[in-house]
Amino acid sequence: MFQIVERKQLNEAVVMVKIHAPLIAKKVMPGQFIIFRLDEFGERVPLTVADYDREGGTITLIFQIVGNTTRQFSQLKAGDSILDLVGPLGVPTKLPEGTKSVCVIGGGVGCAIAYPQAKHLHELGIQVDTIVGFRNKDIVILEEEFRACSDNLILCTDDGSYGMHGFVTNALQEQLEQGKKYDVVIAIGPVPMMKFVCKTTEPYQIQTIVSLNPVMVDGTGMCGGCRVTVGGKIRYACVDGPDFDGHQVDFDELMRRNGTYREQESHVCNLKKGVR
């Protein structure tokens, strides 16, 4: 069993939990993920580790309430425990030798994954520009945390209710047109966002790393559910990723595959309400 030591509601639909998992905390690196199961009847759900405390033996998970399992998870409190926590899984983020300047881009709840990247790079002494985007001011998360680990933070909202009015790609394009030089861009968020970040960086020939989120079952490479096409070849996000060269990813295929079970995922079970 893995005990929750802290729980915090970041906005109406996003929750942060800090869990005591010393073995994972000792080894995990930015870019890696875990798979959790609430109880013996629960489904296996992958989540990228948002932060870790090696000395305290804890890892931080940030997730959006989108289904029954995440809804149940969000209702747990400090002191409660979950049954299974497997990790660290996946390959840590790798940067080219000599990297001096990185732009980290996060979209929506994907900012929870972008944050450990920015924090780690900042600790290494690399210059970090961070661009984060949200639909509106009400759902902004981790602003102060990003400010603490960024040399330059640009916060965007789609509706202009906070920060820059526009998308993260608008802010990135503006930075590049002003002459900003980045060795690497790391983009994490909705698939369409990552696709258009890559389209923005491609003319500038900037290496762009994306963290992919295909349908995943076992997380060990056996089921094949998380396959993605990268550079014309099949790769598996759980063991080959989740980070990949964004200029090589078939994003259109990824979006189609991620929508395969949309109807089932949106189904609401009425059995508990007494409906037969």
Same domain, 239 and 106: yes
CA distances from 218 to 18, 68, 106 (A): 23, 19, 26
Average pLDDT taken over every residue of the chain: 91
- 193 in any annotated domain: yes
Looking at residue 139, its pLDDT comes to: 92
* Cα separation, 218 vs 204, whole angstroms: 38
Tell how strand 51-53 and strand 243-245 pair up. Answer: unpaired
Domain count, the chain: 2
Local mean pLDDT, 10-residue blocks, the chain (276 residues):
95 93 95 93 90 95 90 94 93 91 94 92 95 94 94 95 95 95 95 96 96 85 88 93 95 84 57 45
Judge if 133 and 84 occupy the same domain. no
Give the pTM. 0.88
The reply to whether 224 and 130 lie within a common domain is yes
Residue 252 lies in a domain: yes
> Do the beta carbons of residue 249 and residue 212 sit within 8 Å?
yes
The CATH number of whichever domain residue 25 belongs to comes to 2.40.30.10
Q: Is residue 267 part of a domain?
A: no
Q: Looking at the domain assignment, is residue 268 inside a domain?
A: no
Query: Residue written as tokens 């909202």?
Result: 157
What is the structure's pLDDT at 223?
Answer: 84
Nearest to 87 by CA among 33, 39, 45: 33
Identify the DSSP state of 28: -
Which CATH number do you get for residue 248? 3.40.50.80
Residue 216's CB is within 10 A of a number of other CB atoms, namely 20
Please tell me whether residues 191 and 254 are part of one structural domain.
yes
Q: What is the pLDDT, as a whole number, of residue 274?
A: 47
Q: Could you report the per-residue pLDDT of 238-274, keeping only the tens digit for each?
A: 999 999 999 999 999 998 887 766 665 555 555 444 4
- Tell me the residue ranges of DSSP E strands in the chain: 2-11, 14-20, 33-37, 45-48, 51-53, 58-64, 81-82, 84-89, 101-107, 127-134, 152-157, 164-165, 184-188, 207-211, 227-230, 233-236, 243-245
Looking at residue 216, what is its pLDDT?
Answer: 83
Query: Per the domain annotation, does 77 fall within a domain?
Result: yes
Task: Looking at the structure, tell me whether residues 80 and 128 fall in a common domain.
Answer: no
pLDDT of residue 276: 37
Alpha helix (H) ranges present in 5-88? 22-27, 68-74
Is residue 111 located within the same domain as residue 77? Answer: no
Residue ranges making up the domain that contains 216: 101-258
Burial class of residue 93 (count of CB atoms within 10 Å of its CB; 0-12, 13-18, 19+): buried
